[in-house]
Amino acid sequence: MRWSGVRDVVQGVLAGNDPDAGWSLPAWTYADPEFFAAEVERIFRPSWQIVCHDSDIPAPGDFHTLDIIGESVIVMRGDDGVVRAFTNVCRHRGARIVDASSGCAKKLVCPYHGWAYAQDGRLTGVPMKASYGDAFTLADHGLTPVEIEQWQGFLFVRLRDDGGPSVAQMMAPYAEEIAPYRFADLHALGRVTLRPRAVNWKNIGDNYSDGLHIAVAHPGLKRLMGDGYGVEASAHADKMWGPILDRPSTNLSERAYQHFLPQVPHLPAERQRLWTYYKLWPNFAFDIYPDQVDFMQWLPVSPTQTLIREISYAIPDDRREMRAARYLNWRINRQVNAEDTELVGRVQAGMASASFTVGPLSEQEVALRHFCGRVRAVIPQARLHRAPGTGWSSPHSLPFNGGDRGMERSRTDSASPAARPHPTPFPEGEGLSKGSPS
């Protein structure tokens, strides 16, 4: 499905034209194998995925890998200085070439039969080459290229180009806000952290889009930032922000962070004590503090398994107080992550109950409304309260506009949840459960 077929619907969601805007995605979409298969094809293959920062691969031969939806991608700097991306698959028998998540290599050699590839992906050596026949040429069997984009120093790959926007276009509404943080000059503070979670990937993204739970479930963040959170949604990215308070926290680590966090020379006054969070479609975010920039990516593994991938970056600064602030930032976020892990586990478990279908969304849950609307735009079956019959997720069974009877609702208006107790049900026998959502 081309991006041109989705654009108008996404704009309609932002304009408030989604008839289900007041409702969450149904519970079955958080565990159903067929829905997951549709997400892989409709959402993840045509989406940009962050791999690393340009500073992570400074020298020729340096590489990073990313595994997602059954694919493995190598991002590598060539001896000409150009950064390229390829699938991590030998063109001979399909063996995976590189096992490491990062490293440096003069050439890439398949461990199965010794086929050798240059840093630019060209096949340069094949043992017993003559045995493959006169028609065989090295030029025809280089590594399969993958689309790559560098934005503000960060490197992204896309498995399939559906005509959708670039990362730069996705983040265009916030380009001026991000500029002072000097993303291109960032360097990693450590290694990538991988955290497996036994939940659906959307559950993690929903939690990261949810500003309402912070005051209830994150006492540390409430002490640090109070209730002054803002949230907004644009076509491809959501934004949350909040002030870091001067009032000393009652928690030792939080109070020390407030105390040690120094002035940052390259930031304007209004950003010296400001937290900002940008979540990009569909599954990664930049978590920005005055002292550092984190990226978080939640990679789908199965309908109920997700791998969180994250790392912190910063402008080099050896001041003692800055080193202390960054350490304390890590301690604070470690606690927040533990709280979030417990919360998303509760939601995943509760969604398994037959009593739960969909839930009402507050008008303040702007980012979550936007995300749910976009999923419904890409996979119309997400409007169903219960899973449809098997086989619907095959490519020929995934209509974009839901024009068949099975995807139409008989509605008289698009009232808010208060005026419309629950989404209008399908006619009898068409797969939608009766009764109000629980």
Q: How much is the pLDDT for 419?
A: 34
Q: How much is the pLDDT for 46?
A: 97
Q: How much is the pLDDT for 282?
A: 97
Query: Beta strand pairing status for 284-288 and 274-280?
Result: antiparallel
Q: How much is the pLDDT for 220?
A: 85
Report which of residues 16 and 57 the model is more confident about.
57
Q: How much is the pLDDT for 202?
A: 98
Say yes or no to pLDDT of 263 above 60. Answer: yes
DSSP 41: I
Q: What's the average model confidence in pLDDT over 37-42?
A: 97
| Helices and strands of the chain, counted as H and E runs | 10, 18
Residue 5 pLDDT class (50, 70, 90 cuts): low
For residue range 166-224, list pLDDT tens digits in order.
999 999 999 999 999 999 999 999 999 999 999 999 999 999 988 888 888 898 888 99
Domain with CATH 3.90.380.10 in the chain: 171-351
Q: How much is the pLDDT for 169?
A: 98
Say yes or no to pLDDT of 417 above 50. Answer: no
One of 2.102.10.10, 3.80.10.10, 2.40.160.50, 1.10.540.10 is the CATH number of 48-151, namely: 2.102.10.10
Strand partners, 277: 240, 287
Q: How much is the pLDDT for 14?
A: 56
The whole-angstrom separation of Cα 190 and Cα 194 is 13
Among candidate residues 119, 18, 112, the one with its CA nearest the CA of residue 60: 119
Q: How much is the pLDDT for 191?
A: 93
For residue range 359-410, list pLDDT tens digits in order.
999 999 999 999 999 999 999 999 999 999 888 877 645 443 333 333 333 2
Q: How much is the pLDDT for 15?
A: 58
Q: How much is the pLDDT for 212?
A: 84
For residue range 315-370, list pLDDT tens digits in order.
999 999 999 999 999 999 999 999 999 999 999 999 999 999 999 999 999 999 99
For the chain, the average pLDDT equals 88
The whole-angstrom separation of Cα 261 and Cα 293 is 14
Q: Which helix (H) or strand (E) holds 38?
A: helix 33-39
Residue 289 pLDDT class (50, 70, 90 cuts): very high
Instruction: Tell me the residue ranges of DSSP E strands in 289-417.
Output: 293-302, 305-314
Domain with CATH 2.102.10.10 in the chain: 48-151
Q: How much is the pLDDT for 323?
A: 98
Give me the CATH topology for the region 171-351: Naphthalene 1,2-dioxygenase Alpha Subunit; Chain A, domain 1 (3.90.380)
The whole-angstrom separation of Cα 133 and Cα 125 is 15
Judge whether 208 and 240 are in contact, CB under 8 Å.
no
Say yes or no to pLDDT of 420 above 60. Answer: no
Q: What's the average model confidence in pLDDT over 292-315?
A: 98
Say yes or no to pLDDT of 48 above 70. Answer: yes
Q: How much is the pLDDT for 373?
A: 95
Say yes or no to pLDDT of 100 above 90. Answer: yes
* 3-state class percentages of the chain: helix first, strand second, coil last, to nearest 5: 30, 25, 45
For residue range 117-172, list pLDDT tens digits in order.
999 999 999 999 999 999 999 999 999 999 999 999 999 999 999 999 999 999 99
Say yes or no to pLDDT of 102 above 50. Answer: yes
Q: Record the pTM.
A: 0.87
Judge whether 302 and 36 are in contact, CB under 8 Å.
yes
Q: How much is the pLDDT for 9?
A: 61
Say yes or no to pLDDT of 433 above 90. Answer: no
Report which of residues 114 and 426 the model is more confident about.
114
